[in-house]
Amino acid sequence: MAKKKKNKDKELSGLAGIKNAMKNMDIQGVAIVVLSNDGQIMIGSEGLDADTCQSLLSQGADIMLEQSGISPTLH
């Protein structure tokens, strides 16, 4: 039983979880923000122009700020 649960947890998390969630979607484009363990931020997109990608990332940041209730800071 433990192995099945462990495998199920892997399917629902990380990149595998994202891949499974998008399997049946009709996707126009993808924008991705990656934060590495050493603090680097990488942004990439496929099928989106720069303005659309920037707008989507900005909207996502606004939603996260609203839901978390924290104040944004610049570093």
Kindly report the pTM of this predicted structure.
0.51
Q: Give the range of the structural domain holding residue 16, as residue numbers without chain letter.
A: 2-68
Q: How far is CA 43 from CA 21, 46, 56, 67, in A?
A: 20, 11, 12, 22
In this predicted structure, what is the pLDDT of residue 63? 87
Domain membership of residue 74 (yes or no) is: no
In this predicted structure, what is the pLDDT of residue 1? 53
Residue 10 has pLDDT above 60, yes or no: no
Q: Give the model confidence (pLDDT) of 24-75 as tens digits.
A: 888 888 888 888 899 888 888 888 888 888 888 888 888 888 888 777 665 5
**d(Cα 56, Cα 64) in Å, to the nearest integer?**
12
Q: Give the model confidence (pLDDT) of 14-38 as tens digits.
A: 878 888 888 888 888 888 888 889 9
Domain membership of residue 73 (yes or no) is: no
Domain membership of residue 60 (yes or no) is: yes
Domain membership of residue 75 (yes or no) is: no
Number of domains in the chain: 1
Domain membership of residue 21 (yes or no) is: yes
